[in-house]
Structure 1
Amino acid sequence: MTPHDSRLANGTVAGIVIGASIGLALITFLVTFLLMRRKKTTGQSKSIPAPAGASRNEKGFSSHPYEVSEASSSAIPSFLPQAADDRTVQTKAKTLLDQIELYVENFYQDSPKSGSKVASADLTAFNSPFLENALSTLLSQATRSTPFIKHGLAYFITTSLLPMENSDATLLPEEFITLPRALKRTRNSSSQKPGYLQAISQWRVLTAYLRPDSASDQAYIVQRDRQIDNICQNFLFAFAQWSSPRHGDDERVGSLVAILKDAANLGIFLQSQPVDLQFQFPTQAEVGTGKICIAPALVKTTDEKAQVLSKPQVLVNAGYQKV
């Protein structure tokens, strides 16, 4: 072998070594990149472990109604307003119920005006399934009328804040009532679908977030004020026999209008919460004899993740009065 051949051999060896080093570095880089990418993808799609008995259906969704992915449970609160605490809910609801009670005490009396007769047709709108008889019958027999008037007004107003109740006198914006009433009207089986409670909870919150602010929503304001005007006229006419002579109708109407506007705001506030909140009246059998319920309880039935509470939480106690 000549010196020239030796130099070629040495150069070849050096080239092989350098090429091998570069190849090894490239392979290492590719392996590291793929591992990191796989780890990132896995982290994003990670979900909360399904409870015992849960399974996956053909679309890949869990058949357990309460399984929610970590992405979905954390993404929505990041841009939506946080749920109100229990104390805030209590204060707002109790303030309205106290206003209703005080309104009747200030503007109405226990005894009807002399010579007046109870008009049952006018009182029908304020009847309640939680009284043992129609208001017209109860008022004609009562020695104290104001507890029954309080019950009738409280029942009418609180049901007007529920999407599926009192459809003729709702104080809620249309966006909050269209879907619930459609589900009720068609007897939709959606309530049996996995995640139904979570879907309804997020629908309420998203509806409140996306719809126009109530204070500047002129279409809603016109609808609400028209409804309030009708309610005031009907209520004042129905209970005119028990109106107190200490106040005129203008003052009576003005105070009721203010209460109904506060009620509308409370209804929107309650519907914007992720938890399920319900006004609940006890039956007369549960109340017992000698008294009636004049204000409902406010009860929370689900938590902020729309999980059903093992025991409903009473935020505001029901009110009672002797008759």
Structure 2
Amino acid sequence: MTDKRQPRTAALFALLGAALVAVSAASVLLGAMSIPFSSLLQLVGETLGVMPEGEVPSGHRYVLVHLRLPRTIFAVLIGGALSVSGAMMQGLFRNPLADPGLLGVSSGAALGAAMVIVLGFALPVYPLLTLPLAAFIGGVLATIVVMRLSFQGGRSNVASMLLAGIAINAVCGAGTGLLVYISDDEQLRSLTFWTMGSVGGASWDNLPYVALLAFGPVLLALPLAKSINAMLLGESEAHLLGVNVERLKRVIIFYVCVMVGTSVSLTGMIGFVGLVVPHLCRLLFGADNRRVFTGSLLLGAIILLSADLISRTVVAPAELPIGIVTSIVGGPFFLSLLYRSRRGGMF
């Protein structure tokens, strides 16, 4: 039987794709220095070899190539990764109020970053990698502890996983608070800005790592959507449908840990993207995770890119932390989710 939603779904995906292209173009062209669209077209033409070189002003070329383009690609990859990881967590917990932070990966990453900033750890080789590496390791270790605590009788229990995540978040939050208390003014300022989030650290050098570790698992996760659909019926029912439930849980946790750990280590704390975007996609596409995952990938990229554009232009030439922008939008939406949850199921 033909799905009557297919034409509408295809139209929505096309609309999201067009919106992503438009927002990407705006992100590249707008900022403290506005760049004409003709310069972007000329640069693209030079890259493709269909236009003569040297027509783009050197200032415009530098901003486009070294600042705006890597930042735009960076935001697209991170936004997609955070959103899909949120959709996976909501499918795992069968609750649209779930987000990747339930695993403790974000709070663990914050603790790792705080230790580097306040205690002054530094790698003897490539010291600039110390902060993101410590944040990544902190997030991974927190997730491992949550997983170990959630195992009962050789099986992972979702309720225990939730409780363990709450406990680990509290412990990591206490550790971060202690480090904030003993920090000096400069360290406190650095830690505060890190926790507010930013994609300003984007460069061509770290894009391969983002593509591999943050976005690579997204592509691997898309085929899992059908099995996660079965999980919505319950673990026993999914097992009867041929789903290896325990293996699926481990794969989901692993992918979410890598995606979110990498994202947080490079951008700091960016809230609400992993919560709000998947729920919006469920309102648009229904409960089928095959559509929700793809929609989250596109819409997450659009929202994070739009938030970054706002953060760069509202107080230009200064820059507003992107976490503030996402929280201003996500906070009221989260309250609306809580209100809806009191009136009935949201799946």
TM normalised by structure 2 equals 0.31
The answer to which structure has the higher strand fraction is: 1
TM normalised by structure 1 equals 0.33
In our comparison, the structure showing a higher alpha carbon Rg is: 1
